[in-house]
Structure 1
Amino acid sequence: MDNEIFNLDLRKFLKQVGVTSQREIELAVGRALAEGKLDGMKSLPVRMVLTVDGIDLTHEVTGELSLDQPPQ
């Protein structure tokens, strides 16, 4: 295995995941706001599941996305 090529491909993939995931979340939150589905909600639970076929890897990351304004 060529570690340099592997790491470059991995970084490209993770960048694509980050950029496309952010765009999809922003669009979905915008639609939900426009439809009034987020009224009264202060945050959204979020979960990302990564799977890598061929090595049986499943990795889950969870968190919260705040919808409130930060305190000033």
Structure 2
Amino acid sequence: MNEDIFNMSTRKFLKKVGITTQRELEKAVWKAEEEGALGEGPLKVEMKLSVNGVALDLAIQGEIELS
């Protein structure tokens, strides 16, 4: 395995994940607000990561403040 290639590829993937998930999260929150379904917050969130071929099954939990 080439560590530099692995590192760059991992960073590229994580950048894509960050941009995509932020965009989709924002759209979902704005839609919920428009529909009157958005509570006072914070939003409880969970991100799951699994990797085929590697023993990794990770869940990261947190909260997103609304105000």
Q: Which shifted more, 9-18 or 52-61? A: 52-61
Alpha-carbon separation, structure 2, partners of 1:3 and 1:19: 24
CA-to-aligned-CA distance 1:4-53 (integer Å, 9 cap, x gap) = 101010000000000000000000000000000014x2211000000001
Alignment of 1:49-64 (within 5 A): 49-64=48-63
State the Cα distance separating 1:57 from its structure 2 match.
Answer: 0.7
Alpha-carbon separation, structure 1, partners of 2:3 and 2:13: 15
Please identify runs of 4+ aligned residues in structure 1 that moved more than 6 A. Answer: none
Q: Which residue matches 1:3?
A: 3
Match of 1:58, SS state, is strand
Can you give the 5+ residue segments of structure 2 that lack an aligned partner in the other structure?
none
Identity level (%): 48
Match of 1:37, SS state, is coil
Q: Note if 1:33 corresponds to 2:29.
A: no
Corresponding residue pairs, total: 67
Please tell me the residue identity of whatever aligns with 2:32.
Answer: A
Q: Note if 1:47 corresponds to 2:54.
A: no
Alpha-carbon separation, structure 2, partners of 1:31 and 1:56: 36
Q: Provide the aligned C-alpha RMSD in A.
A: 0.8
Match of 1:59, SS state, is strand
Which structure has the bigger radius of gyration? 1
